[in-house]
Structure 1
Amino acid sequence: MRDIMECLRAKSKNDETKNDKSFLLKDHLKETVKRAVSLKEFIERNREAMDYKKFNDEFFEDLIIACFLHDLGKINWKFQLEVFGRDEKEYDKSSGDKSELNSISEFFKGFKNIEIKDHELVSILYSLIFLDNDDSAKNIRSAILLHHYNQFYVNKEMGMATILDEYPDLAKYIEFLIAKENEIENLLREIIDYIKTDYKLKNDTQVSKIFDKLANNITFKRLEELKKHIEKEYSISTKIQMFTIPDKEDKNFYDFFVFLGCLRRCDYSASGNVEIESAKKLAEEVYNDLNNRIKEKINHTKELWQEKILTENDAENLVLIAPTGSGKTEFALLWAKNRGKKLVYTIPLRAALNDLYERFGGKDSQNKGYFYSADNNILRILHSTAFLEYLKEEKDGKPLDIDEKQTTAQLFSSAITLTTPDQVFLSSLKYYGFDKLLSIYPLSSIVIDEIQAYNPEMAAVIIKTMEIIQQLGGNILVITATFPPYFKEFINKEKDFKIIDLKAYENKSEVKNYKLMRHRIEVIEQNLFVEVPEKNKKNSEENEESAENIHEKEKRDDIYQITGAKEVIPLINENQNKNILIIVNNVEKAIQLFKLLENDDNIKERVKIKDGNEDVYLLLHSRLIEKEKSRRIDTVKRTLNSEKKGSVGGGSASVPVEKRSLNNEKKGMVLISTQIVEASVDIDFDMLITEISPVDSQIQRWGRIYRNREKDYTEENPNIYIFAGIDRGTTAIYDSRVIEKTVEKLKDKRNCVLNYENERELIECVFNEKINGKTLKEEYIEEINKNLEWLKYYSTEKRGEAQRVFRGIAGVQVVLPALMKASNDPVEKKLGQILDER
């Protein structure tokens, strides 16, 4: 019979693993332990930047032990049978006693009828061979139990008596362990020796001590005691204890989930054969000479305004309020450099991610970005569905395959990650899998680029997550041109945030776009679109609006009538030489308006750009595939600027770019878009035509106009045209209360030329307007506080429980996940997906 250690598997053999034998259990355990050691080394290398006190020797001793124990439950006949393919089983039949499967069969002789579908339950039994019931042992066992999704995450008490009720064959497995004591002990010692002798681990004195201690602690007496208590049905849970997750947060709650997240990251990165963290000392190898690199990119030799402010006002948690296009991104990078941690940079719109990735990383060695790396291992872009999609692991009880585990393991593993807020700021819902995020927070400085005026439910989720990040030693920087007033109640000095408002900065003239008079607005008091009634409407009772009906209706081609066409078309034709941006509030509107303009003989050549022999259509919305969306944005930017020019404020680099040609070069372009260009997309148009939206959203849209200019806007005609009519397509995604007050205040600014401070005042005015005796600001604060109270409870499962809790925090307002999933806002869209019932 072959050595059993050389036969037992952790996963199926495939083309990727058949040569390196990483499918074997001994190798997976070894690689998982090595990831724990790598994580420890990364933290030690960057220790001066880390504020999370729990990352100590005891933490990593427990983590290494958990990594060793977590998959021992795969020493199970049924599991082993599943990971051998049909061809291998046929081969084993002809190979006799020397075959792997026959050796495993012999090992389990007399104990093959044990039915335990979740191997993590069996791993808990193995922990009793090595560990007693102290606090560390309890944490380790609970983490092992939850390292795969099972019913004990929320629905069941994590006590051994309850577990045995659900998995009665565990009692049979205990009998197997006791009956095979000598063989099991020899196997476990052999695995320990194998791990200890790995070239990376054998010189690590802490690892050697841990495994020596484990080997010395081996005993089957605790299993025998447990067996006796099971037979007597007496005090079973006292013999194998676990950490009990409380219903409400306490000081141990998040620490436990950080530990679980680290275990799962080690497991996934070992399975995917990828590194868990960069081996770099971040301050010296990632952020080194960043100031000079920024100055070089923006053609600026003097001290930057960002440097001056950080010298005087740096803090672990900051809010920077500054104009669009002023160089807030560069401020964020310099702030992150001062922190010395991993940087997670979030921007609200996916369309901006690729642009930022190129800006940070550069295209090649000739056009280097701020963090250009020849081996490309510093910077990673994490698209908006990537992290939460890994929850597919639990779908139908099927585990992720190796490719999925590899992709998942790499999430947030880079020194710098660019992503959307929905990937980072939903962890306060405590869905299954949020632990991985929690384990990243202590290592990270997190930037929120443009915190938006979310509804009270979403605002509460984000605020609560920010509290968690701070509690775990992570750092937060909010950079925004439009800081919603109600956020000041929750993001302030009392919450350990320093607010830097450039309004109080003495040298405002150094800041690009601060004093510039950029925008003259006109309010058109009508709808740009009117919804077309559905044909053959039934009675109103049969046609009550539901999320599903809305979703189906959006597929129609004739949802809207473009009632504002008689204003839009003349505006375009009267401004032949100007580049015009049109922003509407949903995809269907954008598509219908594009079709109208494409069929207009005077405009059709302005809504496409010739790229070689191919036409690039000037239409942007969220349903375009990412590659095409990025191509269109890139083409627009190249057409707008044949050569980007640097400025004192920051922003664009002086890099020659290839010029694209309009089909009719005598006229300016007309770009039709949804909100995907609203923030963080560095484009500079001459004129905007837009639907109404909340005041902060409006100002973000205006920020794409007259963005990189040196002189005030002095033309008599407006460069901002706002259709103030409100339709259901608009109120479906925006708070109607804010919309109505926004319209009122914008009317007062007709034909006024506004600078940044004027626009900031608009936001304050809107949220200080009263409705039913309370200001909008007060209404939002009250609703957010109510929602924050609900979020204190640990009761949110991945989907079903999250939906129940979120409906609870919304009070009488019904939250429709299907409608949220159709939202243009990526955070709300992803939240809807989490809340949607399985």
Structure 2
Amino acid sequence: MEVYAKSKNKMLIGKEKKQLEQDISNILEELDMNLDTKEKEAIEKEMTEILEGKPEYQKTLVEHENDIVKCAETFFKQFDIYFTEKEKRLVIEACRIHDRGKVNLLFQALVNPEIIEKGMIEKGRKSRQIPHGFLSAVSISKGEFLSLSELFELNDFGAFITAINYHHDRMDEYDDLTIYNYCKEFYTEQAKEYLGVDNWKIHCENRNQLLFRNNVYTFNRVKDLEKWNQYLLIKGLLNKFDYTVSAGYEDAELYPDLEEKQLKKNIEIKLENKGLRPAQKYMKEHKQNNLVIIAPTGSGKTEAALLWLDGEKGFYTLPLKVSSNAIYSRIKETYSYEPVSLLHSDSMMKYIQEYTHTEAGPYERYERAKLLSAPLTICTVDQLFKFVYKALGTEIFPATLKYSKIVLDEIQSYEPRVIATIIYGLKTICELGGHFAIITATFPPVLQYFMERYGLHNEIEYKYQNFAQESQDIRHKVQIRESDIDIDELIKYGEKQKVLVICNTVIKAQEIYNEISEKVENVHLLHSRYIRCHRDKLEKMIMEFSQDEHKTGIWITTQIVEASLDIDFDILYTEMSTADSLLQRMGRCNRKGRYYPKNPNIIVLANKNGVGDKSVYNSFIYDRSLQILKKYENIDFSEILKIEYINKVYCTEEIKDSKYYQEIERYLEHFDEIPPVEYSKREVDKAFRNIRSITIVPDSIYYKNQDIFEKGLELLQKPHVGKTIKAVFTSKLNSLTLNLNYYSNNRLPEGVDIVTLGQNGRKKGSDIHRARMIYEFNEENNIGRGLLLNQLENDDFIV
């Protein structure tokens, strides 16, 4: 009898197909005006594929094993130079035997109805199935393991067996006797037949070799860092190849650029007439080194980093999704590099917008992005650095980063928790053999101090180069005011110039916008409390406004424009923030050095808005940043002086008593001490930024789009709906929502429903909460204050 790897997908019969077709047709008809052309095309294409679908071929276990081994072998041919022969053999052999436990009768009864039909197992028998990974891990002896390759040593066995045991993230509450008895009843004879070995037996003693146990009873510790890193590699690549094959793909990596170096060539052609700038030349020449590069805004850091990648697999990380979107589009359009991938929580929306019939569907592109398959992926750091929490299911990230290069843009922009995550993660990446480049306009000394404390030493693990002195342009002159903004002055400048206002809080930005918009029309607002589709419009508008040399007016914003958003204004009014944030903000004014500032063009408002322990900025670093900034007031604030300024503010010895320093230190120590499986992958996703947030839809938006929410949620809960169709509707719903951060541990913000949309009794529903807060936005001219926190609609509010 055949042994199968998984169940056959249920095919729709005639009546079911007709019903599904009717359901989706009805929804499309009802929502016709609310879906754009791209969304309709993606839905219709997948609907055709579902209706024309042929019965799925059910793969045998042998075929699945062969496919995953072939996937691994193809991968190692492409990326041969990054791995030792032993590493390759360990991964391939883990691929070969990781699913062997599926031979057991209870698993086969689930995937093959003939088992029950032929009476091989009693019909209706209820026995708890032991996860097949645990069975696979006791299916090979130490001697058999050593015989697989002359390169293998007994010291390799623990990491190898642990990777197989936990290749699925399962709780392990079984004792050896339970596993032995289970194997005796459901597995041993089947394994003998499958392997063709009469004297085959299980080896429960292997469980003593596991590096850790995933249960609540065992105290785990990483005793041997070398073994832990070996486990990360085997488990991570095993998962990568297994996920790839199970998803129906043959190759784990798409379009490797190692030989063609197409992106590098395209950049060099674009820069041919201008010539390479110093930072670009340096990074190109030091492509084999880890780097920390200090280069001012407008010095071509992005292109420098892409030249450093040199065609190798790369990840380019940025602090914000809007920045990621901008770099992704720039690489795709300016440098004509199609294989680039985008990975963050809203990237599916981008894939739908780009969809054409000639390429893979949006869900497939998103799925391949999550499998880390692209030669270059633009992403946010939370997508890659979860592995520092040692959670099961995150091993694919360090394993992939072993043969990749990672670029970290503006590392100082992150909060202490994320900075600690990055530093600890880079240490692991370096130990595995991966490479990193930090590119930034400023690099506080305290970060270099913590890097050294955790084994990343200048001139040993990386090279440090400061290009601030290369820029002779004087772009900024600072004036500090111990007051709020002068509205009349702002309006006067806005009549003839591009004026940018950056506030520390959304509420303050809304207040200033409200006051100015009553007096003039050429004013716009951008912050994080717009629903996604409106925010996308505003982000596009501000960039178009910035690039149009004939436009004048005022944009009032928050920190979301700080990092890597390519905008250039004439004058900046900014509330005082911490030094790193302030310098980032300055980079949005006179970015290209278009003029010499005879008068101050950076007006800093020292009003302490958004400052405090539970606010946006830490009081100690804020006060320090302000006092030291006064030394640079009303002088030419050169790039060299900016570096001097940030170095003084973040002088390691002088900030050791600050919350900023202590948080980085505390989290680094925490990552050192975390035992394996202390966190689940889900918990890591929530913990990464240490901010509680919920997804909300304002009532006015909900009522206006009630059909989309009701029909969309209804469709998402129907069986047999294709992944692309689900992704389109999920993305559509998300585009009408926003994330609202809150810090209370006891209750949701006032006006937010506890029950989510679609939730009914035990029926889970969505993760979207309705919010009875006022939401302002005019879609004809893209103006309005967005969500007004703590301002509720009247109870009798009707749209």
Q: Please give the TM-score of this superposition, normalised by the length of structure 2.
A: 0.70
Whether the 8 Å contact between 1:349 and 1:677 is mirrored in structure 2 is no
Residue number in structure 2 paired with 1:46: 79
- Note if 1:357 corresponds to 2:239: no
Q: What is the letter of the counterpart of residue 124 of structure 1?
A: S
1:295-348 CA-to-partner distances (Å, cap 9, x unmatched) read: 4435725344345324665542001101011100111011110xx421100011
Q: Distance in 2 between matches of 1:312 and 1:356?
A: 23
Q: What is the letter of the counterpart of residue 69 of structure 1?
A: R
Residue number in structure 1 paired with 2:522: 606
C-alpha deviation, 1:703, in angstroms:
0.2
Residue number in structure 1 paired with 2:778: none
- Note if 1:762 corresponds to 2:649: no
Q: Distance in 2 between matches of 1:116 and 1:418?
A: 43
Residue number in structure 1 paired with 2:294: 321
Decide which structure has the larger Cα Rg and report it: 1
Whether the 8 Å contact between 1:519 and 1:713 is mirrored in structure 2 is yes
Change (3 A) 1:244 1:405: farther
1:648-699 CA-to-partner distances (Å, cap 9, x unmatched) read: xxxxxxxxxxxxxxxxx8x712222221110111111111121221101100
Residue number in structure 2 paired with 1:175: 185
Q: What is the letter of the counterpart of residue 336 of structure 1?
A: L
Q: How many residues align?
A: 632
Change (3 A) 1:143 1:322: same
Matching residue within 113, 117, 123 for 2:125: 113
- Note if 1:423 corresponds to 2:383: yes
Q: Distance in 2 between matches of 1:117 and 1:525?
A: 69
Matched residue of 2:127: which SS? coil
Change (3 A) 1:597 1:760: same
Q: Distance in 1 between matches of 2:8 and 2:377?
A: 30
Residue number in structure 2 paired with 1:499: 464
C-alpha deviation, 1:590, in angstroms:
3.3
Alpha-carbon RMSD: 4.2
Q: Distance in 2 between matches of 1:425 and 1:781?
A: 21
Matched residue of 2:314: which SS? strand
Residue number in structure 2 paired with 1:250: 225
Change (3 A) 1:253 1:5: closer
C-alpha deviation, 1:779, in angstroms:
8.0
1:471-496 CA-to-partner distances (Å, cap 9, x unmatched) read: 11110000000111111222542651
Residue number in structure 1 paired with 2:97: 66
Whether the 8 Å contact between 1:269 and 1:406 is mirrored in structure 2 is no
Residue number in structure 2 paired with 1:151: 171
Q: Distance in 1 between matches of 2:515 and 2:138?
A: 69
Q: Distance in 2 between matches of 1:320 and 1:126?
A: 49
Superposed counterparts of 1:736-747, under 5 Å: 736-747=619-630
Q: What is the letter of the counterpart of residue 557 of structure 2?
A: S
Residue number in structure 2 paired with 1:383: 344
C-alpha deviation, 1:107, in angstroms:
5.1
Matched residue of 2:293: which SS? strand
Matched residue of 1:753: which SS? coil
Q: What is the letter of the counterpart of residue 273 of structure 2?
A: H
- Note if 1:464 corresponds to 2:424: yes
Question: What is the aligned-residue identity percentage?
Answer: 24
Matched residue of 2:240: which SS? helix
1:512-532 CA-to-partner distances (Å, cap 9, x unmatched) read: xx2211112222213x5xxxx
Residue number in structure 1 paired with 2:242: 267
Q: What is the letter of the counterpart of residue 302 of structure 2?
A: T
Q: What is the letter of the counterpart of residue 606 of structure 1?
A: N
Q: What is the letter of the counterpart of residue 76 of structure 2?
A: I
Higher alpha-carbon deviation: 297-306 or 456-465 = 297-306
Change (3 A) 1:304 1:35: farther
Whether the 8 Å contact between 2:495 and 2:552 is mirrored in structure 1 is yes
Residue number in structure 2 paired with 1:611: none
Whether the 8 Å contact between 2:192 and 2:200 is mirrored in structure 1 is no
Q: Distance in 2 between matches of 1:314 and 1:14?
A: 51
Matched residue of 2:632: which SS? coil
1:106-153 CA-to-partner distances (Å, cap 9, x unmatched) read: 25334863522553356437735998566566545432332222223x
- Note if 1:372 corresponds to 2:288: no
Whether the 8 Å contact between 2:98 and 2:136 is mirrored in structure 1 is no
Matched residue of 1:222: which SS? coil
Residue number in structure 2 paired with 1:199: none
Superposed counterparts of 1:332-731, under 5 Å: 332-337=305-310, 340-362=311-333, 369-373=334-338, 378-384=339-345, 407=367, 410-452=370-412, 454-489=414-449, 490=451, 491-493=456-458, 496-503=461-468, 508=470, 514-526=471-483, 528=484, 564=485, 567-598=486-517, 600-602=518-520, 605-607=521-523, 618-642=524-548, 668-714=552-598, 716=599, 718-728=600-610, 731=613
Matching residue within 156, 159, 162 for 1:142: 162
C-alpha deviation, 1:431, in angstroms:
2.4
Whether the 8 Å contact between 2:138 and 2:207 is mirrored in structure 1 is no
Residue number in structure 1 paired with 2:32: none
Q: Distance in 2 between matches of 1:435 and 1:57?
A: 17
Change (3 A) 1:294 1:306: farther
Higher alpha-carbon deviation: 342-351 or 447-456 = 447-456
Change (3 A) 1:733 1:310: same
Change (3 A) 1:799 1:240: closer
C-alpha deviation, 1:421, in angstroms:
1.4
Q: Distance in 2 between matches of 1:124 and 1:678?
A: 51
Q: What is the letter of the counterpart of residue 230 of structure 2?
A: D
Change (3 A) 1:725 1:254: same
Superposed counterparts of 1:785-804, under 5 Å: 785=665, 787-795=667-675, 797=677, 799=679
Q: Please give the TM-score of this superposition, normalised by the length of structure 1.
A: 0.67
C-alpha deviation, 1:568, in angstroms:
3.2
Q: Distance in 1 between matches of 2:53 and 2:145?
A: 40
Matched residue of 2:437: which SS? strand
Whether the 8 Å contact between 2:506 and 2:527 is mirrored in structure 1 is yes
Q: What is the letter of the counterpart of residue 10 of structure 1?
A: S
Whether the 8 Å contact between 1:111 and 1:176 is mirrored in structure 2 is no
Whether the 8 Å contact between 1:46 and 1:281 is mirrored in structure 2 is no
Residue number in structure 1 paired with 2:201: 222
C-alpha deviation, 1:171, in angstroms:
1.9
C-alpha deviation, 1:719, in angstroms:
1.5
1:432-475 CA-to-partner distances (Å, cap 9, x unmatched) read: 32201122111210000111154544332221101001011110
Q: Distance in 1 between matches of 2:167 and 2:271?
A: 47
Q: What is the letter of the counterpart of residue 205 of structure 2?
A: T
Matched residue of 1:742: which SS? helix
Change (3 A) 1:433 1:76: closer
C-alpha deviation, 1:41, in angstroms:
2.2
Matched residue of 1:452: which SS? helix
